[in-house]
Every structure is written in C-alpha cells, then in structure tokens.
Amino acid sequence: MIDEGAELLDLGLCGAEEMYFATSHFDADGGIEVTASHNPMDYNGMKMVRAGSAPLGSESGLAEIKALAEADDFGPARPGGSRRDVGAQSRAAYVERVLSFVDIAALRPLRILVNAGNGAAGPTFDALAEALAAKGAPFEFIRMHHEPDGSFPNGIPNPLLDENQPVTAEAVLAHGADLGVAWDGDFDRCFFFDEKGGFIAGEYIVGLLAAAFVQREPGRRSSMIRA
C-alpha cells in the first residue's frame, strides 16, 4: 500500500467497530480490519469498508479488488506513501463517542462479568471502563479471559455457540454478577447473560437498542429501522 502511494493510518490492535468508527473519524477513503472474527486461529481475512464506513459489495468495488488481487497487478510504484500510528488518538475518540450515548446519572450500581475470550476486546474495554469510572459510573467489572492471545488458550471466542456459553454463565453465578457480557474475537458481536446465567438472544437486545434510539431521535425513525 505504501508502495502504491497510500497514506496508512495504523490503528494497531483494535476491533472491527473501532475500524468502522476510525474510517469516518479520520475521513479516510477506506478501512481494513485484518481479522478472522470468531473463526479458528488458522484462519484470517479482511473486513473492508469504503469512505464514510460504507460497506463494500459486488456492485461497489469488491469485484474490482478481487480482480486486482487475483491478477497480482497493482501497477508501478508511486511516491508519497506513508504510515502513521493513530491508535491512541483513535481509541480516545472512540471511547468519547461511545460514552456520548450514556446517561451516567441514570445508571445504577451493577456488578458485571466481562469475557473477552482472549480476543481483541480487552484493551478497548479497559479504556471504556476507565472513562466510565472517571465519570462516576457505579460499575464493578470482573474480567475473565481478558488478555489478547491469538492461540486462544480458552477456546475460540464465539459465544453464539451453545457449547461456549456455559463458561460465561457459570462465571456470572460464581461471582454473583448482575450481568454477563461476552464478545467474539474482533468484538463486533456482543452477547449478554442475565443474573441467573441465562443467555439472552441477540434479537431482544437489538429490539431494546432500536427502541432506545428511536425514543432518543424520533426524527430518524425510518432510517433507524432500515439500519
């Protein structure tokens, strides 16, 4: 990419959601997350978006990218390429954006178990937790499988699988937590467990979020429903 004259904004270790956010935040022409998401460790791939964090599809550039990759013909080198580390700057802006959705005064004390599954969520969550604490959020967090480790010593982080849910559910009960949260590897999917260790299906969470955002921004009702 540098040889082709591109300016690279390197986010470092991050999640897919952070890449989507950063693509728009830095007004970039595109974004790439190198990830296999919740697949086994011997898989890899890329999630790509266009300017404005718009998705790529068969009619919006993906076919052209595929043809270039298969031909391995990207043309002659171009001057002006560079790489810049913007990870800390991006994460700080991402945390600020996420917290903009939170009414701190409305929060009640909660003990929350969080399971990052040894994926990428841990460092970003720590930044969010620190910012929440600084604003007075009455949360206590219990962390498990928190350090990123690509060998996945505690199993592939895919909480949607029935066989992967008991470890979080049992930890919720063992620690007397009010809530459990588990992520997949690149944390673009988030799963919840209630105080009894019961897994909450994602469609219920989507419904609650949709209702909350429609109430907050009623003028955007139709666009929120389409989204």
Tokens encoding 8 = 């690279």
Tokens encoding 144 = 């498990």
What is the spatial distance between Cα 20 and Cα 52, in angstroms, rounded to a whole number?
Answer: 8
Tokens encoding 28 = 């970039």
Spatial contact of 157 and 38, defined as CB atoms under 8 Å apart = yes
Question: In the chain, where does DSSP find H-type helix?
Answer: 16-25, 62-71, 87-99, 121-134, 166-174, 202-216, 221-226
For tokens 């956010």, what's the residue? Answer: 21
What is the spatial distance between Cα 18 and Cα 25, in angstroms, rounded to a whole number?
Answer: 10
In this structure, how many other beta carbons lie within 10 angstroms of the beta carbon of residue 193?
A: 24
Tokens encoding 15 = 């999640």
Catalytic residue positions, numbered: 37
